Structure 1
């Protein structure tokens, strides 16, 4: 059996992305949890950085699907005493079916563990990308609009790992229009932007970037932002806030898009990236979006272990 991994959304085919999104929505609607599809499997949860939504989503999701869960605190593992990541991964691969990890700044460690074989590896956020957030966002859009195709989305703020996942995920759907408005010097990584643009072109969609809120598209369906200081990161420029202040999401953005819903991956800092009246207003679905992380996590886990379950049932 070849293990399935979600280290980047680029690891999934278009069909995979679409099926995980639909499956997450079905779990949310109570139509997907027939029996215990994760029965007999064990999911490990390893977070070296803080987490509320992602950690809880995968822990609760695995248990709701009948699977076992082992939660590791980094200081409790022998990694803290000098054991190599490769040795730790080899041990875990012999005991777990899935490892959900938020580890170092990049994906190299997770790629190393995935290469060992024996368990699926899920990236619960790296410096480059937050793929499970992207899948949860797509699930939220699907549930709210009945389809992802044809949506117009405006993202405001840093081109961080959440923005990368949104770009790599949303551009896999047809007739989508995604525009990123980012502060100068804080745009999406060039390789990610290039890939998103190519994906969009192949789907009859558009992907654009700008460095101002003056020329953003009107009549969008969704306005999305994230916190200005991504978890576990710092900025080289001590005056970085000056660059970000013009990109605060305020009620004024709704003059050009009065029907837009507001999304935020949370945690939010009211008064920084978004005003309180927007986050807590009637157009905000940020906390609905947070709940969808669990339903989407369930779909990701089921997708990862499907081969294991089928083999054991044979």
Structure 2
């Protein structure tokens, strides 16, 4: 006769959100620890005790990805996990299964989920609550938090410390910009100036959240559409490609609006000691000139490598909290 076991009957109740869903969920100390570990992994990929050994990390990418997808798969493998990868259209979500039901199934089979979607961040929050899994936001419509960890890693590797940095962001107020604003706002005495095309700035919700955090650290978050309003001192100039992954511009003439926000040698000459940042992929001749992206002051390739080390830091943090 079969012996009965303890079964989880019925749909499980919603649980707390775990993982990394937004920079706004992190304290300044938590963000600092992630950046510190990312820098350590940049120096030595083997600086760990395989904290994900015996675990399975699911990676769900419904939008294109080169760096983030490779970074998280490689990071999981380096930390001892096995990886289950899902692409667009491969889950029953594509045939009408609810997000909640998919989450409940994943929660019974996986240990961590890394997800990139074109949907709202709230979808990932719902997934975390219904699955019970730690969920890592590898980019949602509103925010790209792991990119911010990589960005701060590159800046710390270059400058040694992040206190008091002045960063100029040029271009659309997209999910990279929102994560950067929330991250820099948590650092002491930093200044972020967002130079954005009219109608394409960072939304008021994200500006308000970043400014609220900045008020506690003595930092400043500013947004302008005018080149004449830029600060005298800038340590880093940051841009992203004009056509954000998975989005389209509502205005057919948007390229004319964006053209004045091209980063070229003339703009960089305003700050001779400033480094250049780009989250990649880049379209040379659009948002950035080739001689800037590939020039001696570019940290773009350091940022790209830091995608891996920041992914290792995030997954290690998830494993430690969940262990």
TM bin, normalised by shorter chain, reads over 0.9
**2:319 match: secondary structure:** helix
> Following superposition of structure 1 onto structure 2, how do residues 246-285 of structure 1 map, counting pairs within 5 Å?
246-285=260-299
Q: Decide which of 187, 191, 197 is 1:177's aligned counterpart.
A: 191
| 1:95-153 Cα deviation digits (max 9, x unpaired) | 11111111242112211111124310111111111111111111111111111111110
TM-score by length of 2: 0.92
Shift of 1:2: 6.2
Q: Would you say how many aligned residue pairs link Structure 1 and Structure 2?
A: 309
Shift of 1:41: 1.5
Of residues 27-36 and 220-229 in structure 1, the stretch that sits farther from structure 2 once superposed is: 27-36
Of residues 300-309 and 230-239 in structure 1, the stretch that sits farther from structure 2 once superposed is: 300-309
C-alpha separation in 1, matches of 2:38 and 2:257 = 37
Query: Which residue number corresponds to residue 232 of structure 2?
Result: 218
**2:205 match: secondary structure:** helix
Q: Is the 8 A contact 2:16 2:128 kept in 1?
A: no
Query: Which residue number corresponds to residue 312 of structure 1?
Result: none
Query: Which residue number corresponds to residue 236 of structure 1?
Result: 250
Query: Which residue number corresponds to residue 321 of structure 2?
Result: 307
Q: Is the 8 A contact 2:105 2:131 kept in 1?
A: no
C-alpha separation in 2, matches of 1:57 and 1:263 = 18
| 1:58-90 Cα deviation digits (max 9, x unpaired) | 000011111111101232222222221111111
Q: Decide which of 30, 40, 43 is 1:16's aligned counterpart.
A: 30
C-alpha separation in 2, matches of 1:116 and 1:32 = 34
C-alpha separation in 1, matches of 2:209 and 2:118 = 24
Unaligned runs of 5+ in 2: 1-14
CA RMSD of aligned residues (A): 1.5
Query: Which residue number corresponds to residue 167 of structure 1?
Result: 181
> Following superposition of structure 1 onto structure 2, how do residues 94-133 of structure 1 map, counting pairs within 5 Å?
94-133=108-147
Q: Decide which of 302, 310, 317 is 1:288's aligned counterpart.
A: 302
Query: Which residue number corresponds to residue 9 of structure 2?
Result: none
| Greater Cα radius of gyration, structure 1 or 2 | 2
Q: Decide which of 98, 101, 113 is 1:87's aligned counterpart.
A: 101
Query: Which residue number corresponds to residue 153 of structure 1?
Result: 167
| 1:151-187 Cα deviation digits (max 9, x unpaired) | 1100000000000000000110001111010011111
TM-score by length of 1: 0.95
